[in-house]
Structure 1
Amino acid sequence: MQNIAESQPVILIVEDTIDFAEMTMHILRRMGIEASHTVSAADAIEFIDSQCPDLVLLDLNLPGESGWEVLKHLNESNIERHVPVIVTSAYSDSANRLVGKLQNVYKYMIKPFPPQDLMQAVRQALRLEEA
């Protein structure tokens, strides 16, 4: 397995289920990547505005405002570059997937999913895959 040695990407995990967030952080650490974690849309928006992450792993079902509010903020903010978003959700209906596409979601992953699928999606989103 190849580690990321150059500059560490800034990854934000927005997930209110602590077990799932910890599992995701463990998978990323196996890839040589550290990530930050928030449990609410408000905290995620604050992090995005201050850190401008390279990638956001976003649950849609959050306490208070939903993950859709985070996507709306990313699409409407004055961030200098596009931030890819991988939605990790238990919502499997086609309507949510369609809205995700319209909101510029990089990938929509339905929980639960194999760790290898997440690793591949992260590599692709960060453009770490070999051509």
Structure 2
Amino acid sequence: MAFHHSGGGNQDRDRALRPRRRGECVNERILVADDDQEIAELTRTILERAGYRVRCSSSAGEALSVILAELPDLLLLDVNMPEMDGWELLRLLKVEDATKQLPVVMFSIKMEVRDKVHALQEGAYDYITKPFSYNELLERVRRIFADLEVRR
């Protein structure tokens, strides 16, 4: 499973999964690209309950098609996928004018510092190791959108 609970047990999970209050609706579109359907659906559930619009793809090729059809505001991209891996998709996105500004967060079970540094060098906005907590995912996503808003 991709998610673990951080210290606070069910309270952390419940707080992370709590729907946003009225008036806190967000319009950000997030694409989750992960070949593990369980991880993708759990990620979708967490983010949708926080008010984000989420779409999932099960391969890098499918994710590329979705991105070219309707550019999301954020891509959560698994590193290890069949056929085209996440690194290859990231490189493709970063050389195209239409997609090079798309913030990409890499997902991986690899916890080595060199993997995280490699992701940043390749143009990823962030790198999250699996398993990750509900709260970690939400806080990182919220921080990314807050950072992007400040830059506008």
Letter of the structure 1 residue corresponding to residue 66 of structure 2: F
CA RMSD of aligned residues (A): 2.2
SS in 1 for 2:146: coil
5+ residue gaps, structure 2, are 1-19
Describe how 1:22-101 pairs up with structure 2 within 5 A: 22-79=41-98, 82-101=101-120
More deviation in 42-51 or 53-62? 42-51
Aligned match of 1:125:
144
Relative distance call for 1:110 and 1:80 in structure 2 (3 A) is closer
2: CA distance, partners of 1:43 / 1:94: 29
2: CA distance, partners of 1:81 / 1:63: 23
- Residue by residue over 1:102-126, the C-alpha shift from the partner in whole angstroms, topping out at 9 and shown as x without a partner, is 1121111100011000000111111
Q: Matched residue pairs, number?
A: 130
1: CA distance, partners of 2:40 / 2:147: 22
C-alpha contact 1:16 1:40 (8 A) present in aligned 2? yes
* Alignment partner of 1:5 is 2:22: no
5+ residue gaps, structure 1, are none
Query: Among the aligned pairs, what percent are the same residue?
Result: 29
Quote how far apart the aligned CAs of 1:81 are.
6.4
- Residue by residue over 1:38-71, the C-alpha shift from the partner in whole angstroms, topping out at 9 and shown as x without a partner, is 1111111111111111000010000111001111
Greater Rg over alpha carbons, structure: 2
* Alignment partner of 1:105 is 2:124: yes
Aligned match of 2:134:
115
1: CA distance, partners of 2:142 / 2:40: 18
C-alpha contact 1:4 1:33 (8 A) present in aligned 2? no
C-alpha contact 1:87 1:107 (8 A) present in aligned 2? yes
Give the structure, 1 or 2, with the largest relative contact order (CA under 8 Å, sep 6 or more).
2
TM-score normalised by length of structure 2: 0.77
TM-score normalised by length of structure 1: 0.88
More deviation in 95-104 or 68-77? 95-104
Relative distance call for 1:87 and 1:80 in structure 2 (3 A) is closer
1: CA distance, partners of 2:48 / 2:99: 27
More deviation in 78-87 or 65-74? 78-87
1: CA distance, partners of 2:124 / 2:137: 15
- Write 1 or 2 for the structure with the bigger share of helix: 2
The ranges of structure 1 where at least 4 consecutive aligned residues each deviate by more than 2 angstroms after the TM superposition are 1-6
